[in-house]
Structure 1
């Protein structure tokens, strides 16, 4: 697969774009919807959605993408996403709404893509980080971000031209103890709590009822780790 590289684009960023595009193509092929958020620059969210829904190149497929704007972006994203979807955000690394969404992505079962500039998010903050190191706070108002998601769109369609790439390689357990299969510390978000020491939580597998006696007081929206049907710890927001 040939990757078009913008003049001056770092090789690491070009590789990140290629990986994110392949992941997007695979998820779209599996029926995913992409949800776009940009709290400080909502036109970016709308522009991304338009790029994917209304391709300007004849013969390219329209892809399901929706811009979420307005207040309570965390609540909107929570209600809109389903397991297997993708959330893409344009923001600085310290945007509280985007941080909250990215922290919950694993619990919701969605893949996360984060576009931004300046100080980088913590390692592992999103599945794919497409970042410009220029700290200029006005960079998001220039064409650099637009170029980023235009390339993301183009490379996603390049992947569609190679059907063999569209099926993700399944995970294979080769160890005596598999962390995933043994249900060790799965992330979840609390949906509701009961008076009997239980709670209903959302995980990548769907809604589950779990025991909370080890975790202390919990409230809707809290992030927790669950194991064997029990909350084993509460995750801090910071």
Structure 2
């Protein structure tokens, strides 16, 4: 007697919506000249596969999209050096992978968007711009092809977006008297490039819009690669690893 098990829903409605949103952003970034950087410290072949998937125009007439696998033992340092403002970092990793967590928390200071593919327990809400997650605790999921299916669909949907040029441009929000990031209470995440030489000097930091100097007199012992929250040109706190 044959027992037929219930079919597995590989892509549910929520994941479909997440894939579509990520593909649209990715298409817009590629149109603006972005590079896609792929990392997967636990499952390196996925990083290579993603890079090949996007850079190789397997279908006649499709664009070859700039994509690179970063497989150095220190992917955080690699991303820091490689990624430019407007690029995208895509990670395939479990929610507790420390290097990917660090990349995601620094990405906004680098001015890059992030996509995180994984399964099981989800990462902290909002840590990545787009989270593409499989609802399964099966440890074999990374080897079953479900991740491959996701980034294949991401590639295909990205090219679908290219077919609608009107979607490729986004009007930049204008500064108004009602809400303005510069003069509101909103803080900006920055990463220290060069700490101050003396207590009266400013620190050179990397921001989402470029490099600038900020006042760090209220922060003790600022070091290279520290993440700081800046408001009005002054650092108001340091973000620890668990923040």
TM-score range, shorter chain: over 0.9
- Residue 233 of structure 2 is matched in structure 1 by 229
- Residue 205 of structure 2 is matched in structure 1 by 201
- Equivalent of residue 219 in structure 1, options 210, 218, 223: 223
- Residue 3 of structure 2 is matched in structure 1 by none
Secondary structure of 1:116 counterpart: strand
Report the Cα distance in structure 2 between the residues aligned to 1:60 and 1:181, rounded to whole angstroms.
Answer: 44
Question: How far is 1:184 from its partner?
Answer: 2.8
Q: Is the 8 A contact 2:38 2:51 kept in 1?
A: yes
Secondary structure of 2:108 counterpart: helix
> What 5-or-longer segments of structure 2 have no aligned partner?
1-7
Question: How far is 1:167 from its partner?
Answer: 0.8
| 1:166-212 deviation line (CA, Å, top 9, x unaligned) | 11243245562323664731100111212223211100111111111
Q: If the length of structure 1 is used for normalisation, what is the TM-score?
A: 0.93
Task: Please tell me whether residue 40 in structure 1 is matched to residue 42 in structure 2.
Answer: yes
Report the Cα distance in structure 2 between the residues aligned to 1:179 and 1:204, rounded to whole angstroms.
Answer: 13
Matches within 5 A, 1:1-238: 8-173=10-175, 176-179=178-181, 182=184, 184-197=186-199, 198-238=202-242
Q: Is the 8 A contact 2:183 2:232 kept in 1?
A: no
**After the TM superposition, which parts of structure 1 deviate over 6 Å for at least 4 consecutive aligned residues?**
none
| 1:112-159 deviation line (CA, Å, top 9, x unaligned) | 000000000011010000001101222111100000000000000000
* RMSD, aligned CA: 1.6
> What 5-or-longer segments of structure 1 have no aligned partner?
1-5
Q: Which has the larger radius of gyration?
A: 2
Question: How far is 1:28 from its partner?
Answer: 0.2
Secondary structure of 2:160 counterpart: helix
Report the Cα distance in structure 2 between the residues aligned to 1:58 and 1:109, rounded to whole angstroms.
Answer: 33
Q: If the length of structure 2 is used for normalisation, what is the TM-score?
A: 0.92
- Residue 3 of structure 1 is matched in structure 2 by none
Question: How far is 1:219 from its partner?
Answer: 1.1
